Amino acid sequence: MKSTRWILAAALTVVTAFASIASMPRLAKAADQPASAAVKIHNFSFGAASLTVAAGTTVTWTNNDDVPHTVVSDDKLF
């Protein structure tokens, strides 16, 4: 009887540990990471001239002109 309680207690501990591990946030995989895109400015031209990206995407802007440029959205989102 005593060994049965010990086995049940050990089994409950193992189940509880696995449940705790299963409920932990998982590590992000490379496929889960937002994509990235790049736009280069040269001779007052933007390459790519038009760019559509998903939310969370990182866009890197590189200005190769001698003057500063700004980037804004038509709908005032940024």
Domains of the chain by residue range: 2-63
Return the DSSP state at 41: E
Distance (Å, whole) CA 63 – CA 41: 5
Q: What three-state secondary structure class fits 44?
A: coil
Q: Report pLDDT digits (tens) over 3-59.
A: 666 565 555 565 455 555 556 566 555 556 668 899 999 998 888 888 888 888 899
Local confidence band at 66 (pLDDT 50, 70, 90 cut-offs): very high
pLDDT at 70: 83
